[in-house]
Amino acid sequence: MQTVQDIHEPMPKATPLHAAVLVPAGTVVLAATPIGNIADASPRLMALMEHADIVAAEDTRRLYDLANRLGVRVRGRVVAYHDHNEHHKADGLLDEVAAGATVLVVSDAGMPTINDPGLAIVRRAIARGLPVTCAPGPSAVLDALALSGLPTDRFCYEGFVPRKHAERLQCLRMLYPEQRTIVLYETPHRIAATMDDLLKVFGPRRRMALCRELTKDYEQIRRGDVATIHQGVIDDPPRGEIVLVIAGASDEESQAASPAAMGASDLAALAEERAQQSHMRVKDAIAQVVNEHPLPDGSLIGRKDVYAQVLEHKELRDKQQRDERQ
């Protein structure tokens, strides 16, 4: 794929636009950094990196590497600001802002606070009445959404899928009736397991896109239904950063998954009907209907509770028959 500028080539040190960018004093600035292609760095980002009094970086080595490739000299003090220390460091940085300093907050890639550090300093700055602004830019969420070919007028971003199998299933079951387009992150070493669960919960026909290495030379967008993407992950395991974009549920899917009227007794009646019509064991029918009707939080009604209702229904029917014979 051709890019405006190869990711490994340095950019010119400065341009008239770069030099003319205003760097606000006494302000926290959240700045988006390139998610892959170095040419996506804005003149505003370059000016902020060069002239901010303090740069709070998720990884200081990556910050200096980015600065070198951009031809920018970081003149201010650089501090590590990441998931493990942001709550501890936020107030100290804000003390500097209150004294008139410009504090630039950058993550490794993309926009701070979007699955990256930054929220703590924003919340505390708001509480202290200190100015906060953004230098917007690259975003894997919006990039993938735009390239997916799926509806963009309404969408929800859910971040990384849970690592544990049971928690991941619960999360996906909760999302199944969602009618907005769904955006998720995943890693290469977990994508196969996640696609297995996605196929199990969403079924084979829901439309989706798997986006990898966005803005880089090997950017790839795989579009199709869940079954097609699932098989593609098996045949050609994707590498690099992955964003999944999944079509929202249809009206029929959303209504069918609604748990509002489905308690244990309702599921028991549904399981009995399915067992009779499909000539299957009641326990197998219970397993099916329970999985098809998650609660709003994605958890499932206990199969034992449903089976107890089946037994109760049977006792009521038997009693009615005895009463009718008497």
In a domain, 189, yes or no: yes
- Which residue, of 106, 138, 170, is where some domain finishes? 138
Same domain, 42 and 55: yes
Mean pLDDT, residues 136-159: 95
C-alpha dihedral, 12 to 14 to 18 to 20, nearest 10°: -160
Q: Is the pLDDT of residue 146 over 90?
A: yes
Same domain, 30 and 124: yes
Q: Is the pLDDT of residue 291 over 90?
A: no
Q: Is the pLDDT of residue 80 over 80?
A: yes
**Encoded tokens for 64:** 């200096």
In a domain, 156, yes or no: yes
**Encoded tokens for 211:** 């986006």
Determine the pLDDT at residue 18: 56
Residue 266, SS3?
A: helix
- What percent of the chain has a predicted confidence (pLDDT) above 90? 62
Diameter over CA atoms, the chain: 99
Lowest mean pLDDT among 29-43, 45-59, 125-139, 164-178: 164-178
Same domain, 197 and 145: yes
Q: Is the pLDDT of residue 289 over 70?
A: yes
**Phi and psi at residue 116, to the nearest 5°:** -140, 165
**Encoded tokens for 157:** 């971003």
Same domain, 149 and 74: no
- Which residue, of 138, 155, 188, is where some domain finishes? 138
Rounded Cα–Cα distance for residues 65 and 258 (Å): 50
Same domain, 89 and 62: yes
DSSP states along 277-320: HHT--HHHHHHHHHHHS--TTS----HHHHHHHHHHHHHHHHHH
Determine the pLDDT at residue 14: 45
Same domain, 29 and 133: yes
Determine the pLDDT at residue 258: 60
pLDDT category of residue 174 using cuts at 50, 70 and 90: confident
Same domain, 91 and 102: yes
pLDDT category of residue 69 using cuts at 50, 70 and 90: very high
pLDDT category of residue 270 using cuts at 50, 70 and 90: confident
pLDDT category of residue 226 using cuts at 50, 70 and 90: very high
Determine the pLDDT at residue 262: 61
Same domain, 161 and 192: yes
- Total number of domains in the chain: 3
Same domain, 248 and 265: no
Residue 163, SS3?
A: coil
**Encoded tokens for 235:** 């045949």
Determine the pLDDT at residue 290: 87
Q: Is the pLDDT of residue 309 over 90?
A: no
Q: Is the pLDDT of residue 6 over 50?
A: no
pLDDT category of residue 97 using cuts at 50, 70 and 90: very high
Mean pLDDT, residues 292-319: 83
**Domain that residue 177 falls in:** 141-253
Determine the pLDDT at residue 9: 46
For residue 176, give the CATH number of its domain: 3.30.950.10
Mean pLDDT, residues 236-249: 95
Lowest mean pLDDT among 6-20, 207-221, 226-240: 6-20
pLDDT category of residue 254 using cuts at 50, 70 and 90: confident
pTM for the predicted model, two decimal places: 0.74
Q: Is the pLDDT of residue 273 over 60?
A: yes
Determine the pLDDT at residue 12: 45
Mean pLDDT, residues 113-142: 94
Q: Which residue is associated with the tokens 């950063």?
A: 241
Containing 143, the helix (H) or strand (E) segment is: helix 140-148
- 76-88 burial: b if 16+ Cβ within 10 Å, else e: bebbbbbeeebee
Same domain, 132 and 147: no
